[in-house]
Structure 1
Amino acid sequence: MSTFVSMLAYGLADGAILALAALGFVLIYKATSVINFAQGEFLLVGAYMFYTAFVVMRLPLLVAVVVGVVVATVIGVLVERLILRPMIGENPISIIMVTIGLSSLLRAVVQMFYGTSPKSMPAILPRGSVEILGATVPVNRLVVILVAAVVLTAFTVFFRKSRHGIAMRAVADDQQAAMTMGISVRRIFAMAWALAGVSALIAGVLLADISAVDQNLAAFGLLVFPVVILGGLDSVPGTIVGGIIIGLLKQGTAVYWEPGLATVVPYVVLVLILLVKPYGLFGETRIERV
């Protein structure tokens, strides 16, 4: 029982971070129909930006968080304005290749300034452990789950209640209809990339605190693809469910089967879902008539 509880805590924490990272992916896809292969590098850049503000510049924690959010927002907007906007109307394969190139560029920039060795960062989440049903669970894992739940709830309220959130949903449903209602589609595109950068920043900081600030953050970010395929490319609730399932599956494989397969099984699930239910658990089935 204690092993199961421990696996549950670790799996839910990983799933919560994956859900945050996948949220940015889904936002971009819903608003712009762009499949962003650089989402993992957004996590990497977000974590290093926070590291720079908090450790290198020695800013207070809250100020470092604000600086990180501002930088993530600016990067998201610049990527949309300078790289993706000129590609509007181009072949989808061309846009995918651009995002793959963007991922390589972001990783190269991080390596150029910070090198490839892991960086040490003071703990920002509480350390220590608590005992739950006989299992010793790290407090920081529980805090990660709580923080991710609060952030995901805040994003959900934003989409459902705020004017900008409703505008984003309108653009996602029908761009032409949204334009006739006076909604600036280009502004919504920029907002989607900015919010994707912010969600990746939060996910990157949480992941860096429970692991390390290094290049492996981008590799962890690649798990957003099994998450969004499982939950649905255009489904925000699907990212939460998909993140939890993939996180638990990854940890369950490491604990009960073979640790070396923990990073492989999510991609096996990706292939199976594409074969059985290609639109995911909550994705919208699209039927095109010619």
Structure 2
Amino acid sequence: MLNDIFVAPFVDMFAAPDFLMQVLWEGLVSGILYALIALGFVLIYRSSRIFNFAQGIMVVFAALTLVGLHAMGVPAWICILLTLGVMFVLAVVVERVVLRPLVGQPDIILFMATIGITLFLIGLGEIIFGGENKVMITAELGIPTGSVLLEPFGGLLILEQKDITAVIVAALLVVGLLIFLNKTRMGRAIRALGDDHQAALSVGISLQTIWVLVWFIAGIIALVTGIAWGARAGVSFALEVIAYKALPVLMLGGLESITGAIVGGLMIGMLEKLFEIYWGQPLLGGNTETWFAFVLALIVLLFRPQGLFGERIIERV
């Protein structure tokens, strides 16, 4: 019995290295998309100390807006620009209507406000776009849908071109975000708010402007993630459930760490896929991807409550 649980899966894993690489690739793609969603959480939390529960529905709402505009006859690339405009308006409305009146309120009040934003966007999305599943406009956006075949170790490795595109675009987005945060004046202001909130406000950094900016950046991330996930699984409100995988990523990597969001997403994406294929299906009947990430994050929290990349909080009395 112990041999079947602990030894046999590792033997199977390395007996077919080409299949192992296929599993790791699938996990890598999922992990990158998890990391993108987690980045939206991290940016908003660092700048405002608000845990944005609405990030998941923002992914769905952005994708539905893109597909809905195209269904009205708008050209695909114009749809992207209009969707970015919608996400900017959403950022302004959230700052003016929800966040600004709640400045100084306890964290739990701000968290509940983001739950309210989630429910509002779900209702608004269903009214405007309906609840049925929609097809992402991959061809219209120029996203290739074929496959690339490789033959490592004498086997066969299949890479979907839309997954390769998603990985490249996600990598460019992360690099662009890091350059923005480290090299631009507004990026340094966001980092300053994350490092020392009161000190940043005391030197004249506008809290309202930063809030709008980070919510808009989170909207851009949501749109990119929505396109990538929509190309793989269609566009519907079920994507919100996938977006919740960012929660264990945050627990694993740390709520304030951009590096932690990226590394945590990659770790969870690949580990959950490995566990599903080599342990979940043969031993547990499958479907372990729905809970593995949360169990892994819980185990990490038991030993390191701040996450792998979070700063240890030391309180002196």
TM-score, normalised with respect to structure 1: 0.94
Kept after mapping to 2: 8 A contact 1:250/1:263:
no
CA distance in 2, matches of 1:194, 1:77: 8
Kept after mapping to 1: 8 A contact 2:95/2:208:
no
| Superposition map of 1:30-179 within 5 A | 30-53=46-69, 55-123=70-138, 124=141, 125-132=143-150, 133=152, 134-179=156-201
1:189 match: 211
Residue among 222, 226, 249 paired with 2:244: 222
| Superposition map of 1:267-282 within 5 A | 267-282=294-309
More divergent stretch after superposition (192-201 vs 213-222):
192-201
Deviation at 1:216, TM superposition (A): 1.1
Deviation at 1:58, TM superposition (A): 2.8
Query: 1:192-217: per-residue Cα shift (whole Å, max 9, x none)?
Result: 11111111111111111121011111
1:255 aligns with 2:277: yes
**Runs (5+) with no aligned partner, structure 2:** 1-16
CA distance in 1, matches of 2:105, 2:71: 41
CA distance in 2, matches of 1:116, 1:104: 14
TM-score, normalised with respect to structure 2: 0.87
RMSD (Å) for aligned C-alpha atoms: 1.5
Kept after mapping to 2: 8 A contact 1:178/1:185:
no
1:201 aligns with 2:223: yes
CA distance in 2, matches of 1:131, 1:99: 44
CA distance in 1, matches of 2:92, 2:112: 19
SS in 1 for 2:290: coil
Larger radius of gyration: 2
Deviation at 1:289, TM superposition (A): 4.2
Query: 1:39-78: per-residue Cα shift (whole Å, max 9, x none)?
Result: 110111111111122x223333322221121211221221
**Runs (5+) with no aligned partner, structure 1:** none
SS in 1 for 2:100: helix
Q: State the number of aligned residues.
A: 289
Q: What's the % identity of the aligned pairs?
A: 35
Kept after mapping to 2: 8 A contact 1:9/1:142:
no
2:21 match: 5
